[in-house]
Chains A and B, each alone.
Chain A
Amino acid sequence: MNVLAFSVGDTLMKLLRESGFASFFVGDGWKSLVMIVIACVLLYLGIVKKFEPLLMVGIAFGCLLTNLPGSSLYTPELWTEFMQEGGEFYHSYGHVLQEGGLLDFFYIGVKAGIYPCLIFMGVGAMTDFGPLISNPKSMLMGAAAQLGVFVAFFGAILIGFTGPEAASIGIIGGADGPTAILTASRLAPHLLGAIAIAAYSYMALIPLIQPPLMRHCTSKKDRAIKMEQTREVSKKEKIIFPIVVSIFVILLLPSTAPLIGCLMLGNLFRECGVTDRLSDTVQNALMNIVTILLATSVGATTVASQFLTMKTLGIVLLGLVAFGISTVGGLLAGDVMCKLSHGKINPLIGSAGVSAVPMAARVSQIEGQKENPSNFLLMHAMGPNVAGVIGSAIAAGFLMAVFGA
């Protein structure tokens, strides 16, 4: 009996010492506690405040799981070894499969750039490029709205980030989650969690970030401009469009091939009329499955040691700058086009050039209707909006070509 009591006590002590709770009080364990609080705040933002909930809930829960001491679901050390040039396990997915946890397996899809491209395929299948085809001038606003990408990149270099890190931070200004994730996973994987959280948070905050800038950069008279209906786009044009864009953009900048190729393939599934089943699968089932895997694995990269640094604060700040300047870039292009067209183009549609489909276009519509309740800018704003998706993919392709090996 005495022996049994001794064993029970010993076992309980051992369990207590090895429990996750005890880990909070050892060394940097408190950082995990802070990350758990951050994960709960992100869950609150996703569930209660509806900040991009489809991604935010997964990211936040991945963050929670990875910071529970002892869970061993994600092993950052494995990925450090994976990236260590000349090391035994350099670029060895086999080693990750042998030693990794569940979220390490999920993360392989991010690291290999598979999930962001599949998400892009879904985006392509859900996007109607008709407004862009009927008004190709929208491309100019989509291009101008990438200004924030390069200003934030330059700002990041100024405050001490390395070239690849700055490129990954700058792409937040493209307001395109999958593009930001793909670029960060390739150029600065240690910053991936912070960049993804910043990108999706600011995308959710577009209705708050953009309107003050829109009112500041445009006149009341211009905001009330009613735009004429654009021409009808034939089915044939919509089918040819993804094929032409793929050939043209990929030949121009081959590093955009994964993103543009998948975006346009998804769009071709939608438009060609003979692959309705595939289009439906890409838009719904595939998109949902990939979103789960992408969000949880990106969230898992937010381990305390990598997330709780001054760099994260810098990313959050620069991300906001990137979003703001991209919006201003698009609006300035809108202003110029308004003047050149003698008041036929409402400059508010320029802010939709920051991709973030269709949220940014909706904001243009809402702001336009505030000045003129009979104004319907949504379809006009969808032109720069989808041009922004192509523009941010080109910007990412350029940065990956410059900073990638």
Chain B
Amino acid sequence: MMFLVFGTNPEMEHIGIGTAGIVAILGYVVVFVGLVLLMAVIYALGKAMTSRKKAAPAAPAAPVVAAEPAPGTAGEVKLYSVSDRDAALIMAIVANKLQKPLNELRFKSIKEVQ
């Protein structure tokens, strides 16, 4: 099959209803099988990644003591697809709307919802 030029299969030009039905069912099955197999691959990939993540803390690590946030800070904020600048803006807006000082608020995470 060439890319720049492309013709049609003359044998499939005029097909009967029976052949069309078979092609339709086969096509739907192929799409399903393709995506189900891909789903299995993604599941396996996800499992491998999460198990690796879980295994990582088992390695000898210094005891972690949750440090209190320094006075005047908003604590640790996890950012997902949000720049530092946007996060600062969002936190400032929330503080302003709630009429509370920023250091009395705790932001756990900020995530962009598309």
Contact = CB atoms under 8 A, between A and B. Distances in A.
B3 A258 contact: yes
A153 B17 CA distance: 11
Interface stretch (A140-148, A272-280, A366-374): A140-148
Interface string A392-405: 00110011011111
Given A236-B49, A241-B45, A376-B113, A404 B30 contact: no
Contact of B43 (A136, A147, A379): A136
B12 A403 contact: yes
B1 A399 contact: no
Interface in A262-277: none
A240 interface: yes
A186 B6 contact: yes
B108 interface: no
A143 B17 contact: no
A128 interface: yes
Interface stretch (A161-169, A198-206, A307-315): A161-169
Contacts of A234: 49, 53
Given A232-B80, A252-B37, A143 B32 contact: yes
Contact of A394 (B6, B35, B49, B80): B35
Nearest to B3: A113
B77 interface: no
B82 interface: no
Interface residues of B, number: 43
Given A186-B6, A358-B114, A140 B39 contact: yes
A226 to B, nearest CB: 15
B45 A237 contact: yes
Contact of A150 (B25, B38, B39, B50): B25
B8 A390 contact: no
Interface string A227-253: 000011010110011001100110011
Interface of A: 83, 85, 91, 93, 112-113, 128, 132-134, 136-137, 139-140, 142-144, 146-147, 149-151, 153-154, 157-158, 162-164, 166, 186-187, 231-232, 234, 236-237, 240-241, 244-245, 248-249, 252-253, 255, 258, 358, 376, 378-379, 382, 387, 390-391, 394-395, 398-399, 401-405
Given A162-B14, A231-B46, 14 more contacts: A132-B42, A134-B46, A136-B42, A139-B42, A140-B39, A142-B35, A153-B27, A162-B13, A187-B8, A244-B42, A379-B114, A391-B34, A398-B26, A398-B27
13 contacts: A85-B7, A113-B3, A136-B38, A140-B35, A146-B28, A150-B27, A163-B8, A187-B8, A252-B37, A402-B9, A403-B9, A404-B6, A405-B10
